[in-house]
Amino acid sequence: MITQDITTDNLTLNETEGQPQQSCQTTGEALSTSTLQEEQACQDVAPKNTQQEKKTVDYATFSLEELIAALQNMIDADNMSNREAYAIREAFDAQEASQEQKEDFAAVWEVFRVKREKYAAQMAVEQKANLEERLSLIDELKALIEKEENASIKEFHSIQIRWRKCGMVPREQSSVVWQTYQHHVERFFDYLKLNREFRDMEFQRNLEEKNKIILRAEELINEPSVKKAFDQLQMLHKIWKEETGPVSPEHRQEVWERFSVATRAIHERRHQYLKDQKKSLKNVLDAKLAICQKIEDMAAAGANSHDAWQKKMAEVEALKEEFKKVGLVAENKNAQVWERFKEVNRAFNQAKNNYYKDLKRSQMSNLEQKQQIVVEAEALKTSEDWNATADALKALQTRWKEIGHVPRQKSDELWAQFRAACNYFFDRMAESRKTVDASLLANLKAKEELMARLEAFEIDEKDIDATLETLKGFSAAWREIGRTPRSGKDLDAKFNATLDGLFDRLKLGKQEVTMMRFKDKIETLVADGNKAKFYAEVDFIRRKIDEITHQVHQLKNNIQFFSNASADSPLVREVNKKIEKEEATLAQWKEKLAYMRSIKLD
C-alpha cells in the first residue's frame, strides 16, 4: 500500500490504493515539512463548500457605525465566524469611539457572543452525531467486505455517497476516522471479487477526476492572487482526499507526483509572498512609527506664537493623512501602533492646549490693562490743556503697543474706543491750533506795526514825564497784543532792546526801570498762561528774599563785635554801606513779590 501525505493546515491527504505500503520518499519527492508547517500557521480550516471562495474584507477602512452594522449583519446572517468577528472588533478598538458608540458595539458583541456559544454547542452536538454516523458507515463497509458472497458495488456506492454528505466531526478524531474509512475502502478494492473490467472502469473514473484536480492546481500556479491560489488549493486537496477514490497502480505515482509539483509551486509562491509581505509590513511599521516620532518631537518643541502653532497644527494634520495612507501594518502590531499614534497626538494636543490656556490668561490680563487705558483716554479727551494732555495720550498709546494681544472678539471694539477718544482730543487740539495760529499771525503783524512806531518815536526832552508815559504805553500795548509765532521771538528781543535804549536816554533811576521791566516780564507770562514759569519766578524771589535777609542779619551781627569802635571808623562805615545796599535790594525783591501776589491767575 502506497501512502503519500500532504498536510495543508488541518487537512491530511492520504493516497491509499490497495498496494503494499511504501515511503513517499521512495516514490517521489516529499514536500518541505517546514514550508507546510509555515502555511499551517497562516490559514484557517478549508471551507466546507468547494465552490465557495471566502472574500477578504478590509475592516480597517470601515467607520465605527459601519463596523457595528457589519457585526449585526453577521448575527442576522447566522455567520458565526470567530475570525471575522474579531477582525471587526480589532478594527473598532483601533479607532477613537464615543461612550455611546462603545456601548452600542458592546451590546451587539454580547448578542454575537451568546449566539456564538449556542452555535458552538450546537456544532458540538452535530459533529458528535456526524462522528457516530461515519463510524456506522465504516461498520457497514466492514460488514460489506466480510460478506461470504460477492459484495454489491451498489451498496458500496451508497456508503460512499452517504459518507460524502456527512458533515464535519470533532477535529481531534477527524484524521483517525478518515484513515480508518480509507483503509476499508482499500480493503474493499483489494479483496472484492469483482471482474477486472468493472475495477478498471472505477480506476479510470477516479483517474479522470484526479486529472481534473491536477489541471486546476497547475492553472493556479499562474493565478495573480496568491491568497486565492492557496485557498483554492486547500479546496482541491479536500476534494482529492474526500471525494475521489484510488487509481490503478501504474498511474498512482504519476498523478500524485504531478499534484505534488503543483502544490509545491503554489506553496513556494506563497512562501515568497509572505516573505515579501513581511518586509512590506515592516516598512509600513517603520514609516508609521517615524510619523509618530515627528509628531512627538513637534509636541516637545512646542511654539511661542499663535501663527507658529497654526503652522504646526497644519503639519500634524498632514502627518495624520500620511499615517492613514502609508498602508496597513501586521495584525499583531496594529493595536500597538495605533495606541502609539493616539499617544503622540494626545501629547501634541496637550501642548497646544496648554499654550492657548496660557495665552488666554495673558490676553485676559492684557484686556484689563487696555480697558483701563480706554477709561483714562476717555477722561482726557475733553481736556483743553493741549500740550500736557497730548503728551499723556501719546504715553497711553505707547503703553497700548507694549501690552500685547487681547481676545480677538474684544480687540477691534476696544481699539475703536481708544482710537476714538484719542482722535476726539487731537481733532479738537488741531482745530484750536488753527484758531491760535491765525491769532498769532495777527499779533505778529500788530507787533511789527508797533515796532515801527517805536523806532520812529522821538523823545521830548522838554517833557520827560509825557515821554515816559508814552514809552509805558508802548510797553503796555506790546503786552496786550499777546503771543506771536516762534518766528516773532527776535522781534520781542528787538523791541525790548529799543525800549531799554529809550529809557536810558531819559536818565531814569535804575530801580524804577528795573521794576518796570519786571512787570512787563510777569505780565507777559500771565498773558501766555504760563503758570509753571510764573510760580517758578515766585519761588525764585522768595529764595532771594531769604538769602538777602540772612545776609543783612549776618552783617548787623558783625557790627556788634565793634561796640567800642567809633561810627566814623572806616570798617564800620563799610559795613553800614553794605547793610544799606542789601536792604535796598531786599526792598526791591519784596516789591516784586508783592506785585506778583497781587495778580489773580485763572
C-beta of residue 15 within 8 angstroms of C-beta of residue 2 = yes
Q: What is the pLDDT of residue 520?
A: 75
- Residue 521 in any domain: the answer is yes
Q: Which of 79, 98, 78, 76 is nearest to 87 (CA)?
A: 79
Give me the chain's average pLDDT, please: 81
H or E stretch including 313? helix 306-325
Q: How many CA atoms lie within 13 A of 504 on its CB side?
A: 6
Q: Which of 540, 529, 533, 525 is nearest to 592 (CA)?
A: 540
Signed CA dihedral, 561, 567, 569, 572: sign only: positive
**Is the pLDDT confidence value at 347 over 90?**
yes
The pLDDT tens digits of the residues spanning 449-467 come to: 888 988 888 887 778 778 8
- Residue 404 in any domain: the answer is no
Query: Which of 40-54, 215-229, 350-364, 560-574: highest mean pLDDT?
Result: 215-229
What's the first-to-final CA gap in the chain, in angstroms?
137
- Lowest-confidence range among 227-231, 309-313, 522-526, 551-555? 522-526
pLDDT-based confidence at residue 586 (cuts at 50, 70, 90): confident
* CB atoms inside a 10 Å sphere around CB 211: 16
pLDDT-based confidence at residue 358 (cuts at 50, 70, 90): confident
- Residue 88 in any domain: the answer is yes
Q: How many domains does the chain have?
A: 2
Better-scored residue on pLDDT, 33 or 294: 294
What single DSSP character describes residue 304? S
Better-scored residue on pLDDT, 235 or 503: 235
Q: Compute CA 8 distance to the chain's CA centroid, rounded to the nearest angstrom.
A: 51
Q: What is the pLDDT of residue 207?
A: 92
The pLDDT tens digits of the residues spanning 239-269 come to: 898 888 888 888 989 999 999 999 999 999 9
- Lowest-confidence range among 7-21, 103-117, 290-304, 581-595? 7-21
Helices first, then strands: H and E counts in the chain: 19, 2
Residue 324, C-beta contacts closer than 8 angstroms, at least 6 positions apart: none
pLDDT-based confidence at residue 189 (cuts at 50, 70, 90): confident
Q: Compute the residue count for the chain.
A: 602
- Residue 161 in any domain: the answer is yes
Cell of 505: 536816554
Domain boundary among the residues 234, 262, 279 is at 279
Q: What is the pLDDT of residue 507?
A: 65
Cell of 231: 485557498
Can you tell me the mean pLDDT for 383-411?
88
Domain boundary among the residues 258, 279, 300 is at 279
- Residue 412 in any domain: the answer is no
Cell of 171: 477535529
Calpha distance 90→83 (Å, rounded)? 11
Burial class of residue 247 (count of CB atoms within 10 Å of its CB; 0-12, 13-18, 19+): buried
Calpha distance 501→457 (Å, rounded)? 12
User: Range of 17's domain?
Assistant: 5-279
- Residue 517 in any domain: the answer is yes
Residue linked to cell 513517499: 24
Q: What is the pLDDT of residue 151?
A: 56
Q: How far is CA 447 from CA 451, 452, 469, 548, in A?
A: 6, 8, 19, 38
The pLDDT tens digits of the residues spanning 474-514 come to: 888 887 887 777 777 788 888 888 887 887 777 666 677 77
Q: Which of 552, 518, 509 is nearest to 537 (CA)?
A: 518
pLDDT-based confidence at residue 539 (cuts at 50, 70, 90): very high
Q: What are phi and psi of 142, to 5 degrees?
A: -60, -40
C-beta of residue 167 within 8 angstroms of C-beta of residue 126 = yes
Q: What is the pLDDT of residue 518?
A: 82
pLDDT-based confidence at residue 315 (cuts at 50, 70, 90): very high
- Residue 567 in any domain: the answer is yes
Give the bridge partners for 7, in sequence order: 12
Q: Which of 245, 240, 238 is nearest to 48 (CA)?
A: 238
Q: What is the pLDDT of residue 385?
A: 87
Calpha distance 383→289 (Å, rounded)? 67
Calpha distance 483→519 (Å, rounded)? 16
- Residue 410 in any domain: the answer is no
Calpha distance 193→195 (Å, rounded)? 7
Q: Which residues of 514-534 are buried (b: 16+ CB within 10 A; e: fewer)?
A: eebebbbebbbbbeeeeeeeb
Domain boundary among the residues 238, 258, 279 is at 279
Residue linked to cell 509581505: 277
pLDDT-based confidence at residue 566 (cuts at 50, 70, 90): low
Burial class of residue 41 (count of CB atoms within 10 Å of its CB; 0-12, 13-18, 19+): exposed
